[in-house]
């Protein structure tokens, strides 16, 4: 059968389309933030959560991850366990931030925290703002688009699915409110001591119900001057007489 130029063109187009689809399917998945737990069970205590933030930038490394905690987990319930070298941990009113020197460009940032107790829920979403050294911010904050494995994709927040609570498990009393660190809370810093220049001089202290020491000194000097003047006048009169 003789193929016409038109049929040959259509066949080439179909092959090119199929090849493109295969290449797209074999490409890397969209970057996102994942969360895993050593015990993903409602009301479990002292659970370690590990977060892995994939990089979407080929120009700058990841420098910070700001997390808004889900309902049932307070910032005081979270402690830092491990993360990139040089990174630090600090809490805020609704969550926490881990940050530090930028990781290598294109590298993922992984860290772990310990949670005092997971709430009684079916799944937990950890909205995350992922910052880079050049000021870029990726927002993994959307809800309702988690995968079958409990990991958020696209702009979805990382989601952790929980198994039902163990029989007899109960909600523990709230943890004491954690004191803010000096680096993140100006209110926690002690008030500076007054400098010597701002304190009253010792000789200027006002006595209760009377004059200051400087006032008495001035009065005494004036009295001495009056006595000296009178003595001088008396001596002149004596000489004149």
Q: What is the band of 224 on the pLDDT scale with cuts at 50, 70, 90?
A: low
Q: In the prediction, which pLDDT does 227 show?
A: 61
Cα 38 to Cα 32, 33, 35, 49, 97, distances in angstroms: 20, 17, 10, 7, 21
Contact (Cβ atoms closer than 8 angstroms) between residue 91 and residue 178: yes
The residue that leads in pLDDT, 213 or 78, is 78
- Which secondary structure element, helix H or strand E, spans residue 47, and what is its range? strand 45-53
What is the 3-class SS of 144-165, one letter each residue?
A: CCECCCCCECCCECCEEECECC
- Is the pLDDT at 30 greater than 60, yes or no? no
Average pLDDT value over all residues in the chain: 75
- Is the pLDDT at 195 greater than 80, yes or no? no
Q: Under DSSP, is residue 35 helix (H, G, I), strand (E, B) or coil?
A: strand
Q: What is the band of 95 on the pLDDT scale with cuts at 50, 70, 90?
A: very high
Q: In the prediction, which pLDDT does 175 show?
A: 72
Query: Region 137-155: what's the mean pLDDT?
Result: 67
The residue that leads in pLDDT, 79 or 188, is 79
Q: What is the band of 75 on the pLDDT scale with cuts at 50, 70, 90?
A: very high
pTM value is 0.61
Burial 50-79 (b: 16+ CB within 10 A, else e): ebbbbbebeebbbbbbbbbbbebbbbebbe
Least confident residue range of 24-28, 42-46, 168-172? 24-28
Q: In the prediction, which pLDDT does 7 show?
A: 52
Cα 205 to Cα 10, 116, 193, distances in angstroms: 102, 56, 19
- Residue count (the chain): 241
Could you tell me the strand order of the sheet in which 33-37 lies? 33-37, 45-53, 109-117, 78-82
Residue 207 token pair: 């006595």
Q: What is the band of 3 on the pLDDT scale with cuts at 50, 70, 90?
A: low
Closest CA to 179 of 171, 189, 170: 189
Q: What is the band of 173 on the pLDDT scale with cuts at 50, 70, 90?
A: confident
Q: In the prediction, which pLDDT does 87 show?
A: 98
Query: Region 120-145: what's the mean pLDDT?
Result: 95
Q: What is the band of 137 on the pLDDT scale with cuts at 50, 70, 90?
A: very high
* Largest Cα–Cα separation, the chain: 161
Q: What percent of the chain has pLDDT over 90?
A: 54
- Is the pLDDT at 55 greater than 90, yes or no? yes
- Is the pLDDT at 15 greater than 50, yes or no? no
Q: Cα–chain-centroid distance for residue 113?
A: 14
């Amino acid at each position: 059968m003789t193929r016409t130029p038109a049929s040959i063109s259509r066949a080439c187009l179909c092959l090119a389309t199929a090849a493109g689809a295969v290449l797209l399917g074999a490409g890397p998945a969209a970057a996102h933030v994942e969360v895993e737990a050593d015990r993903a069970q409602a009301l479990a205590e002292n659970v370690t959560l590990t977060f892995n933030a994939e990089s979407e930038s080929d120009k700058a490394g990841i420098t910070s991850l700001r997390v808004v905690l889900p309902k049932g987990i307070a910032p005081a319930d979270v402690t830092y366990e491990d993360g990139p070298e040089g990174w630090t941990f600090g809490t805020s009113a609704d969550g926490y931030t881990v940050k530090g020197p930028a990781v290598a460009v294109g590298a993922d940032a992984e860290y772990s925290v310990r949670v005092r107790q997971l709430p009684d829920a079916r799944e937990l979403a950890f909205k995350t703002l992922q910052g880079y050294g050049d000021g870029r911010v990726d927002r993994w904050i959307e809800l309702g688009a988690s995968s079958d494995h409990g990991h958020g994709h696209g702009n979805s927040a990382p989601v952790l699915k929980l198994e039902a609570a163990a029989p007899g498990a109960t909600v523990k009393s709230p943890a004491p409110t954690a004191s803010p660190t000096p680096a993140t809370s100006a209110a926690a810093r002690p008030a500076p001591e007054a400098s010597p220049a701002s304190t009253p001089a010792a000789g200027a202290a006002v006595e209760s119900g009377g004059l200051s020491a400087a006032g008495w000194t001035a009065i005494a000097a004036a009295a001495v001057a009056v006595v000296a003047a009178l003595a001088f006048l008396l001596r002149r009169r004596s000489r004149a007489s």
